[in-house]
Structure 1
Amino acid sequence: MRKYVGLLLTLVFVLILTACGGNNTGGSSNKEQVTVKLGIFKNVTHAAGYIALEKEFLQKQLGEHVKIDVQAFDNGSDFSTAIATGQIDLGYVGPGPSTNQYLKSSNFRVISGADNGGAVLVAGKDSGVSTVKDLVGKTIAIPTKGSTNEISLRLLLEQEGVKVTTDTSGAQIVARAPSDTLVALRQNEIHATLIPEPWGTQIEQEGIGKVIVPWDQIPPNNGDYPLVILVASDKFIKEHRDLAKGAVKANLEAIEFIGANPDESYKLINKRLSELSGKGLDIELIKAALSHMRLTSDVSQEAIEEMAKVSIAAGYIKDVTAESLDLSKFLDLSLLEEVKSGK
């Protein structure tokens, strides 16, 4: 009888261990494995995302049961299409193209800021351009049509009374990838470019051109406007709110780390940039670029709305008027507020 009682107690003990996880494997091993698809650009302005990945802030916040699938993008239009169609769950993008896409699909949200400013207006060495007013009859390049950089350029031209046209009566805007822009400036095929860092600094250092409007004079708000934001799909927020909140925490940690550890950050940013683009940068170039932007989790809805109205006027946003524009649901900063309040 004692033998059977002993066996019964042993069986009960084993069942209890199994129910509690047993073998010290930790709670995360019992969680369902999840793959989070993160989109990011091959650009230094996405520094917060790079550090969140390199320092594993994001992995630690999401948990061991989460696999992070990083997908690199060259422009905001492709990124915005990807998040709207479920190809990625969240990531870093500019407000220009993402706002355009949101007004079509309304299925993703801004959950945090990442970077304010970081773009400059550069004129070619032999362009004859030294001020914005000199751009009449000239051709200016932006990375992609409808980008945040184009919106800033249109605002800048409007401020100086320069019209956007397709002839020599005003300034003409063309799209060129940043690397192609360097060649086009050197060959005098274009006369200027409004371009994100570190490209502006690189153009100046190589003697191809000169910055004529620095980052802290670029509209709106003299450079203090969202250039990079963190967005997440509605589906991801609904099904994995805890993971979306973890991404916001990791983004904040990364911003704070860069501020406290700049020298280490430059190297880590370059490492991730090399992995994404296949080519790194001189550390001094990265240092200069980061000094021309403000990394922050803050997001100005007013600035995003102002830029959206420029897109409406330019024809990138259709079936919406400036008067009917409503972006109140595009920004969902509840997770950011929870993180900042320690909830």
Structure 2
Amino acid sequence: MRKFTWTISVIVFIAIMVSACGQKNEAASSNENLTVKIGLLKNVTHAPAFIAIQNGYFQKEFGSNVKIEVTAFDNGSDFSTAIATHQIDLGFVGPGPAINQYLKSKNFRIISGSNNGGAVLIVRTGAGIKSVKDLAGKTVAIPTKGSTNEISLRLLLEQEGLKVTTDSSGVQLITRKPADTLVAMRQKEVDATLIPEPWGSQMVQEGTGEVLVDWDRIPPNNGDYPLTLLTANDQFLKEHRDLAIKAIKANIQGIDFITQDPSKSYDLISQELKELTGKGMKPELIKAALDHLKLTHEVQPDAINVMAKVSFDAGYIKGIKENELDLSPFIDLSLLDEAVNNK
């Protein structure tokens, strides 16, 4: 009887091991010849992603069987459309356009933070603007409608009792890509801009503009608000949750690399910008950008909810009532918890 029991135990043990190996091989094979499509913006505020790409953190985490394809976007609206329509699997974007798109499609999630702050309010040199109140009757450039920068600008104007209008009674907004805003400021076509770094620092260095509100006084939370978040679409999370967690780890490694020794990151960030745009960036401009933001993998749901309310009031969120602005399903921090705790 003892011999029979021992024999059964061995058979059960072998069966369990074979099953476990089979499951492991099945999981491994599911990533064979897989291409993970990562999206990001051509901004230094996406520096952790740049470092994670340049230092091979994504590739190391995903494994050699996974191919990585990087797509760069000019603005968050285009990125958000791409992730909602499965043109990309995961990537980095600001909360403003992400919120607007999520409430339409509800098929992607915020899974980690990347950096907070990083935008400044610049006024054109010689425009006679000495305070935010002086923006009344002026034209202010933003990267795109519904962008995180526009949300911050609207909050800033609201604090000073100013309204966004289409005439000289308030503040007029126009959309310009950051590079085009730089030209517009030089040509005196716009009076001010709330813009991500290092564009603001570049305007200051060349004498085109002056800082009116520095990054650590931009609302909400005086610069400590999400500007770049890591997101992933639902299909990718369902089929490759393990890789999404590994992407978070790669993002955190990028943050740690910059935090521990920023000077080592300048050339890498410039190189990634060159690959994305065809042009690198001077180290002093990259330093200015990194000095004007807070790198963090943490996410602030309260700040995101405030931004959603601003987008709603601005008319960018349609088809729902204000009390239906429930973003709790949009922010899934369970993967971040697993990544940080090495589960």
TM-score (norm: length of structure 1)? 0.91
Decide whether the 8 Å contact of 2:186 with 2:208 is kept in 1: yes
Judging changes above 3 Å, is the alpha-carbon distance between structure 1 residues 210 and 30 closer, same or farther for their aligned structure 2 residues?
closer
Shift of 1:327: 0.1
| Contact kept? 1:96, 1:147, Cα under 8 Å | yes
Aligned match of 1:132: 132
Aligned partner of residue 223 in structure 1, secondary structure: coil
Aligned to 2:322, the other structure's residue is in SS state coil
SS at match of 1:323: helix
The one-letter code matched in structure 1 to 2:246 is G
Matches within 5 A, 1:197-216: 197-216=197-216
Verify the 8 A CA contact 2:31 2:66 in the aligned structure 1.
no
Tell me what 2:109 maps to: 109
Task: Give the drift of 1:31.
Answer: 5.3
For 2:231 and 2:64, the matched residues in 1 are separated by 22
Kindly, what percent of the aligned residue pairs are identical?
64
In the alignment, residue 175 of structure 1 is paired with which amino acid?
A: T
1:298-337 superposed matches below 5 A: 298-337=298-337
Q: Aligned equivalents of 1:41 and 1:334: distance in 2?
A: 25
Code of the aligned partner of 1:309: K
Residue 145 of structure 1 is matched in structure 2 by 145
In structure 2, stretches of 5+ residues that fail to align are 1-20, 22-26
Alignment map for 1:1-343 (pairs within 5 Å): 32-343=32-343
One-letter amino acid of the counterpart of residue 210, structure 2? K
Which whole-Å CA distance do the structure 2 matches of 1:261 and 1:29 have between them?
38
Inter-partner Cα distance in structure 2 for 1:225 and 1:276: 26
| Distance change in 2, residues 1:307/1:29 (3 Å) | closer
Residue-by-residue CA offset, 1:272-318 (whole Å, 9 max, x unaligned): 01110111111011011100000100111111110011111111110
Q: Between Structure 1 and Structure 2, how many residues are aligned?
A: 319
Letter in 2 for 1:111: I
Q: 1:41 and 1:194 mapped to 2: Cα distance?
A: 17
CA offsets, 1:47-67, max 9 Å, x none? 010011011111011111100
Match of 1:13 in 2: none
Per-residue CA deviation, residues 256-278 of structure 1 (Å, 9 max, x unaligned), is: 11111211111101100111011
* 3-state SS of 1:279 partner: coil
**Aligned partners of 2:55, 2:46: CA distance in 1, in Å?**
15
Deviation at 1:29, TM superposition (A): 8.3
When residues 124 and 96 of structure 1 are mapped into structure 2, their CA distance, relative to the original with a 3 A threshold, is: same
Q: Is the 8 A contact 1:112 1:231 kept in 2?
A: yes
Contact 2:112/2:298 (8 A) holds in 1: yes
Q: What secondary structure is seen at the aligned counterpart in 2 of 1:190?
A: coil
The 3-state SS of whatever aligns with 2:72 is: strand
- Does the 8 A contact of 1:28 with 1:63 survive in 2? no
Runs of 4+ aligned structure 1 residues displaced above 4 Å come to: 27-31
> 2:193 is paired with a residue of what secondary structure?
strand
Deviations along 1:80-125, one digit per CA (max 9) or x if unpaired, are 1101011000000010001100000000000000010000000001
Q: Does structure 2 conserve the Cα–Cα contact (< 8 Å) formed by 1:149 and 1:195? A: yes
Q: What TM-score do you get using the length of structure 2 for normalisation?
A: 0.91
Query: C-alpha separation between the residues in 1 aligned to 2:137 and 2:68?
Result: 48
Deviations 1:113-171, CA, capped at 9 Å, x for gaps: 00100000000012111210000000000011110000000000000111111111111
1: CA distance between counterparts of 2:31 and 2:120? Answer: 46
What whole-Å deviation, never above 9, does each CA across 1:211-237 have from its counterpart, x for those lacking one?
A: 110000000000000000000000000
**Kept after mapping to 1: 8 A contact 2:58/2:246:** yes
Secondary structure (helix, strand or coil) at the match of 1:156 reads: helix
Shift of residue 322, structure 1, vs aligned partner? 2.6
Listed as ranges, the gaps of 5+ residues in structure 1 are 1-19, 21-26
CA distance in 2, matches of 1:302, 1:140: 27
Q: CA deviation at 1:30?
A: 9.3
Q: In structure 1, what residue type is equivalent to 2:195?
A: I
